[in-house]
Structure 1
């Protein structure tokens, strides 16, 4: 677990003093934006991303691709990507963005020249070794001094042989997506075969496959744990970026914890986003969930009901759901998420520590958390530079007096101005 850096002035999370009645619009999906950026940079002509998310992660991706020769214009609401000859010779800052650390090295391998990768201190312990080993097996020359982690250098030769590669993607579905996104530009394409425990967050791989097909790339995913991308052009295409459904979690949770009503505008009826599972989760916890003209409506119950959930495929939702479980009137168990120990922080340990500090009766388990109802109280909720931890903190603060969220600004990773937006919805003073 990342050691928290104390913040002198933790943010007083506003309390929902009465049932809310809100309609909200959310920024675009980080996952969709960063996949669309990579494919647009590899395409055979310019492309536009409408509704792209402007956040630290997506701007880091845009800067990385720009450094490799694509012209990425982020000046307007719609982002325009003009592909160019790929070249190395620069440095890529991954920040805390796993998508940049994992998706960009295969692109750098297609460039001519060397590109160095590094990021925030915590990124040096996040796993990327499977991607680097796989790239070596596909003919890429790179140097990580045996660490299997940042920093590393990719020595691009202007082409990648490609072929078949075996890997263990049980640590992150991004290992698979990283190889698939650039594979159509490899001489032989790629066949990725997963060997190991089940791949977590598989909807994100489905999202990658759908994005590839949107660009005319041939993908065969008919067999479990096997993905084949055939070589060929990446057709230029525009993207309409959906609202980020994982970022919807704290807003829908406002309805759940206040017994109120929240509508999220533009919620897609069909999507590959993992956050769509929130509809089912909230329903199981006692909320009324349904469609209205503007989007998705959630109406909260008098008291939340505990749940027993396997969140293996939607691990990014664990912090928000854990906060709701800590507020529920019956026991809960969240499991199947051992892999989130290697996210921005060890999310299981961090949640157990911070929820316990506010009075929750929570037990840390190898692959999740178990809850017994207990009264909560105020206090500092540390975030460990993790935006999803901050989401958990503000959900608790909406239901419990005196919750102080440390480093709420970390939400800028995927939602700029989150704190001001949140405070405005609850009629509180901006940060």
Structure 2
């Protein structure tokens, strides 16, 4: 499984910014769109092409898992992967790594296979909750052996078909539960009438808009006109061409860098219309006093260091939390991020990790159940722990812009969604109007 092994730890000293920035950057394709395109293409009736896919540990784990289920996927051309569906077969073992998309998106697909499919992953992945997917599949009549853990490792006993019908779930921990069930639903004999019945809302709603849009593009009949209810009719998905947008959440720390130290950073090919949650960063940076404009072939942020104060509800864009918390930690604030309690169950407890590292840095931090309040002070040299979490590495890179003698304990974890992040970041800080990044 080339490229899918757990990344080696690598200490890193991010560059200190000695002047304002002037850079044009390309970021790789969206992980969220790439993962969904791979799943939908694999259960379609004809071949598909995925253009500009993200090639990272998470997406390659998805590729390897789908291949083990009998799907033909050719990744020889880095710019255009081809997916050839086939009968879903059991007798497979799926390595989830630390990818929530693999851990949650593929069990419903595996339940359509003709035999058992075993799921496991990295040690920390065994701590990530997966009770929602396991309970939902059991309620649909699927056999799952998990030893009572409701987490990895577990085995799905595929029966070749799922009847489907009505299903009530609590998706308040992760929107991935809804996405996982909706993508497989056209293959259910009765389709799926899915309702969220939890006391709290489904977080990260833009991802649900994304999966509904992509399902419709593949030919599915989806009714989401009623709040917290999705009805998917049984039917065939069609093979098609998927064009993957740049990953806007990976772009967020680059745009925040312009705010942290001044200057301008452009992310090329930023979509004018998108369902990506990361697009929220545009409005947030304007709220923080930056100028955001379309120029130089993409989205440009012109920022200047200042005292930042904000009260942000990031429930629909929680992946932005680490970068924004780091930005607030190097400015005087105070600023509050709320509505993100669900990120305690991500690669690490991101709220606790951010609170600990920003406090070590010298910031004043108040940790809340669903977020944190941060007010920066003079930073001090330290080693920023990344907790095997790519977003924590992004946050640490931002802090390093203004903190001499600053180190990250491990930057290898960025291979999850952007293996070249460290080199692109270094080039961006040193750039003067040149283009760097995934395609440069």
Measured against the shorter chain, the TM-score band is over 0.9
Q: Tell me which residue corresponds to 1:34.
A: 35
Q: Which runs of 5+ in 1 are unaligned?
A: 1-6
TM-score of the two chains, using structure 1 as the length reference: 0.96
Name the CA shift for 1:8/1:70 in 2 (closer, same or farther; >3 Å). Answer: closer
Cα separation, 2, equivalents of 1:200 and 1:235 = 29
Cα separation, 2, equivalents of 1:361 and 1:329 = 9
Residue 100 of structure 2 is aligned to residue 80 of structure 1:
no
Deviations 1:375-396 (A, max 9, x none): 1112100000000000000011
Task: Determine which of 359, 362, 365 is the counterpart of 1:359.
Answer: 362
Query: What secondary structure is seen at the aligned counterpart in 1 of 2:248?
Result: coil
1:310-349 superposed matches below 5 A = 310-349=313-352
Residue 44 of structure 2 is aligned to residue 43 of structure 1:
yes
Residue 210 of structure 2 is aligned to residue 207 of structure 1:
yes
RMSD: 1.3
Residue 434 of structure 2 is aligned to residue 427 of structure 1:
no
Residue 394 of structure 2 is aligned to residue 391 of structure 1:
yes
Task: Determine which of 164, 174, 177 is the counterpart of 1:175.
Answer: 177
Q: Tell me which residue corresponds to 1:61.
A: 62
Q: Which runs of 5+ in 2 are unaligned?
A: 1-7, 432-440
Deviations 1:68-122 (A, max 9, x none): 0110111112110000111010100000000000000111111101000000011
Q: Tell me which residue corresponds to 1:368.
A: 371
CA contact (8 A) 2:21 2:263 kept: yes
Kindly state the Cα deviation for residue 426 of structure 1 after the two structures are TM-superposed.
2.5
Kindly state the Cα deviation for residue 8 of structure 1 after the two structures are TM-superposed.
8.8
Kindly state the Cα deviation for residue 427 of structure 1 after the two structures are TM-superposed.
3.4
Cα separation, 1, equivalents of 2:100 and 2:305 = 39
Cα separation, 1, equivalents of 2:402 and 2:37 = 37
Q: Tell me which residue corresponds to 2:156.
A: 154
1:262-277 superposed matches below 5 A = 262-277=265-280
CA contact (8 A) 1:69 1:87 kept: yes
Q: Which deviates more, 251-260 or 264-273?
A: 251-260
Q: Tell me which residue corresponds to 2:421.
A: 418
Kindly state the Cα deviation for residue 293 of structure 1 after the two structures are TM-superposed.
4.8
TM-score of the two chains, using structure 2 as the length reference: 0.94
Kindly state the Cα deviation for residue 66 of structure 1 after the two structures are TM-superposed.
0.6
Cα separation, 1, equivalents of 2:271 and 2:119 = 35
Q: Which deviates more, 268-277 or 282-291?
A: 282-291
Cα separation, 2, equivalents of 1:285 and 1:44 = 48
Query: What secondary structure is seen at the aligned counterpart in 1 of 2:300?
Result: strand
Cα separation, 1, equivalents of 2:134 and 2:11 = 39
Cα separation, 1, equivalents of 2:180 and 2:25 = 32
Cα separation, 2, equivalents of 1:259 and 1:427 = 13
Name the CA shift for 1:8/1:133 in 2 (closer, same or farther; >3 Å). Answer: closer
CA contact (8 A) 2:9 2:410 kept: no
Cα separation, 2, equivalents of 1:168 and 1:217 = 24
CA contact (8 A) 1:257 1:304 kept: no
Query: What secondary structure is seen at the aligned counterpart in 2 of 1:91?
Result: strand
1:113-262 superposed matches below 5 A = 113-196=115-198, 197-262=200-265
Name the CA shift for 1:11/1:293 in 2 (closer, same or farther; >3 Å). Answer: closer
Q: Which deviates more, 244-253 or 289-298?
A: 289-298
CA contact (8 A) 2:251 2:267 kept: yes
- The structure, 1 or 2, with the larger RCO (C-alpha pairs under 8 Å, 6+ apart) is 2
1:104-119 superposed matches below 5 A = 104-119=106-121
CA contact (8 A) 2:165 2:192 kept: yes
Query: What secondary structure is seen at the aligned counterpart in 1 of 2:317?
Result: helix
CA contact (8 A) 1:24 1:263 kept: yes
Deviations 1:301-353 (A, max 9, x none): 24142211011111111000101111223310111111100000000000000
Runs of 4+ in 1 over 4 A off after TM superposition: none
Cα separation, 1, equivalents of 2:9 and 2:21 = 31
Cα separation, 2, equivalents of 1:222 and 1:254 = 39
Kindly state the Cα deviation for residue 237 of structure 1 after the two structures are TM-superposed.
1.1
